[in-house]
Structure 1
Amino acid sequence: MSKTGAKEGSAVRPETAFSLLGNETRFGILKALWEISEPLASKPVSYSNLMDEVGVRDSGNFNYHLGKLEGHFVRSLEDGYELTAAGEQIVQTVVAGTGVEHPSMEEQHVGVVCAVCGGTETTVQYDDEILLLRCTECPGSYPTPPGKLAAFQIPPAGLTDRTPREVFEVGITRVALKTQSMIEGICPTCSMEPTIDVKLYDEHMDHDEPAEFEDTMWAIAYYGCPRCKLTWRFPTWTTVMWHPAVISFFYQRMPDVDPLSWEYFVRGREFDQELVSEDPIRIAITVRYEGDALQLTYDESMSVVDIDPEPL
C-alpha cells in the first residue's frame, strides 16, 4: 500500500488513462519524475523533492493527484517514487514530439537510388512528422504526390542536428526495425502479438495497393495489433530480408552490406517470388547474387518452412 493508499498493479481502461492524464498537476508529476530521475542511477525521487519540483504546496491536493497515478503510471517504493514503463512511455512520447522550433524541412536533394528507375535524382521533404522520399525523374511507386517512393514517420526530435541525408537514414532505419519487430510477433508500440493475414493478388487485377505492387508484390502480408491498432503491410519478400540465412548470404558476398539501409531495401525488390501452393499458402522467395541463390519457403503465418541453400 502506498502513502496515498492506492493499490499498485491494478488494470486501467483506456478511457480511464485519458482522464487520469487530463490534469496539469498529474502530468506535472510525471514530467518531474522524468526530469529528476537519472536513468542509470535507479534512485527513486523522494516525496518532498517530487512535491517541490511540481510546485504544489497543498499536500492534500498533491496526495490526491499522486494517488490517481500510482499503480498505473507511477510506482511507489520505500524511499520514493519512480515512473512505471507506461509512465515513461507517455513522457518520452511527449518529449519526442516537442522541443523542435521548426519541425519541417523544405524539399532537398539526397541522391539515394530510386527503387523504380535506378536514378539518383531523389529528394526528401519533412512536414507534419512525415518524411517524404520522391524521385524527380520518374512517376515513383505511388500515384500521389508525383514521384513518391516512400514516406516515414519521424518525431520532430529526430531532425535535431541532422542533415537531410541523415534524417532519411533515421526514417528507413526506424521502418526496418519496426517491420522486424512485427515479423517477430511483437508490436513495436505495445508488445502485443500482431495478427497476420497474407493476401494474394492476381498481378493483372485492379486493386487499391500502391503502383509498385503491380508487378513484383502480388503477395502482401498484413500485420495488425489487436491492442493498439498499429497496422503494418508489406510485400512478402520483405519478410526474408532480415532472416539470418539471407543476411549471411549477402554478408559472405558483400561484407559491407547494411541490412538497415535503403540500398538493402532496394535490393529486396529484385527477389523472385513463386506461389507454390494456395491451400495451404506456400510462397517461395529466391534471393540471388551473381551465380548464387538462396530459396526460402514461407507458410500463411510467414514462418519459414524450408530453406534451400544450394545455387539454383
Structure 2
Amino acid sequence: MSEEDNNGDSETVKDALSVLAHEIRLDIVLALLEGWAGVHTEPRRFSELMDAVEVKDSGKFNYHLSRLQGVYVEKVEEGYVPTAAATALYRAVLAHRPTREMTRTGTIAGVCPDCGGSMVERYERSFLTYECTDCEGWTGVTYSFPANGLRGRTAAERQQAVMHRADYHIGLARTGQCPFCAGRVQVQFDPQVDWAERGESPAVELVCDTCSWLVVVPVLTPLQFEPRVSAALTRVGVDPPLTGFHTVETSVERVSEDPVHRAVTAETGEGTVTVVVDDELAVQSVDGVASG
C-alpha cells in the first residue's frame, strides 16, 4: 500500500468514526440494530425511530439521521435500515468489551510440543499467548482473541477456541482474502532468515493490503487447507489441523526463478512430503515418499 493510499484510508476511517460522535446518532444505530436480520431486516419509519430514541424535535432528529446515512444507515422505500458496517462495528464493540479476565497469566494443562515441558497461558491486549516455561526451542503461539471469548471457557476450551479461530482466518487468508476486511492478502517469504540456524520451522507472513491484519505462521500451516497436501501429510503421520502446537521438521528451497517456485519439504519418521508452491502459496505439485 502506498503512503497516499494509507493517508486516504486513515481519513476515511476518521470520517466514519466521527459520524458517531453524538449520543442521538448512537441511539439511532442501536434502535435500528434491535431488529437486525441481515438483508431481511425490516425497515423502521422516521416517526418510529424518533419515538425509539425519544427525540421530540423532528428537525434535530432528521439532522442526526441524515449524518448517519451512507455509512451506517440506508434509506429505503419503507423507511430506514442499518448497514452491514453498523453491524460490524457493533459486533466489534461487544467482542472486545472489558471483562474481569482482561489480564491473566497461568500454567495450563498441556505440554510443549518441543520438549514436553509445561506451558503457560497469558492474555494481554486482547491477545492469547502460549509459551513453554522450560525451553526456547518452541517459539510459542500468539493470536488475537476477543475478550468476550474468555467468558465461560476453561483453559483447555480457550486454547481450542483460539486455534480454531486462527485456523479459520489463515485458511481464508490463503485464498487471498483478509478475514476481517475482505481486502487482498499478500504472501511474504523472508529470504534473509536462516531458519535452520535459528532452530525454527520456516515461516511465511500473510499481510492484508488494506487493514492491520498480519500473521506469521509456519509455512505448512496455510498449505494444510489444500486437500492434496493434507492427504499427503496424513500418510506420513501428520494429522491436520496443524496449529502452533505442532512441530514438523520442515525446509524450504527456491527451485525456480521465473516463475518463482519453492519446494516445501516436511519430514517425519514415516516419510517425506514435498509441496511446490508459487509466490502466492498456490500449490503446483505434491509428492510423498513413505519410509521403508
* TM-score normalised to structure 1 length: 0.77
SS at match of 2:158: helix
Paired letter, 2:56: R
1:63 deviates by 1.2
Cα 1:16–1:41, aligned 2, differ >3 Å: closer, same or farther? closer
Please list the CA deviations of residues 51-103 of structure 1 after superposition, one character each: whole Å capped at 9, or x if unmatched: 222222222111111111112211222223222111111111111111x5413
Work out the CA distance in 2 between the residues paired with 1:13 and 1:21.
Answer: 13
1:253 deviates by 7.8
SS at match of 2:116: coil
Paired letter, 1:83: P
The equivalent of 2:287 in structure 1 is 308
Of 284, 291, 312, 2:270 maps to 291
Aligned ranges for residues 30-179 of structure 1 at < 5 Å? 30-38=29-37, 42-98=41-97, 100-104=98-102, 106-119=104-117, 121-139=118-136, 141=138, 149-179=140-170
Work out the CA distance in 2 between the residues paired with 1:79 and 1:213.
Answer: 66
Work out the CA distance in 2 between the residues paired with 1:278 and 1:44.
Answer: 57
Contact 2:201–2:249 under 8 Å retained in 1: no
Please list the CA deviations of residues 240-261 of structure 1 after superposition, one character each: whole Å capped at 9, or x if unmatched: 2222123334567879x562x7
Paired letter, 1:214: R
Cα 1:123–1:139, aligned 2, differ >3 Å: closer, same or farther? same
User: What stretches of structure 1 of length at least 5 have no aligned partner?
Assistant: 1-11, 143-148, 205-211
SS at match of 1:298: strand
Paired letter, 2:206: Y
Work out the CA distance in 1 between the residues paired with 2:169 and 2:107.
Answer: 26
Contact 2:249–2:268 under 8 Å retained in 1: no
Work out the CA distance in 1 between the residues paired with 2:116 and 2:176.
Answer: 33
Work out the CA distance in 1 between the residues paired with 2:273 and 2:237.
Answer: 15
Work out the CA distance in 2 between the residues paired with 1:307 and 1:139.
Answer: 32
Cα 1:35–1:60, aligned 2, differ >3 Å: closer, same or farther? same
Does 1:279 find its partner at 2:241?
no
Cα 1:175–1:193, aligned 2, differ >3 Å: closer, same or farther? same
Please list the CA deviations of residues 125-168 of structure 1 after superposition, one character each: whole Å capped at 9, or x if unmatched: 323322221222223645xxxxxx22221111111111121112
Contact 2:119–2:131 under 8 Å retained in 1: yes
Of 203, 212, 217, 1:229 maps to 212
* Fraction of identical pairs, as percent: 25
Please list the CA deviations of residues 158-200 of structure 1 after superposition, one character each: whole Å capped at 9, or x if unmatched: 1111112111222122222222222110011110112232221
Q: Count how many residue pairs are aligned between Structure 1 and Structure 2.
A: 280
Cα 1:104–1:202, aligned 2, differ >3 Å: closer, same or farther? closer
Work out the CA distance in 2 between the residues paired with 1:81 and 1:213.
Answer: 60
Work out the CA distance in 2 between the residues paired with 1:46 and 1:34.
Answer: 14
Work out the CA distance in 1 between the residues paired with 2:227 and 2:274.
Answer: 13
Q: 110-119 or 191-200, which moves further after superposition?
A: 110-119
Contact 1:75–1:84 under 8 Å retained in 2: yes
* TM-score normalised to structure 2 length: 0.82
For the aligned residue pairs, the C-alpha RMSD in angstroms reads: 2.9
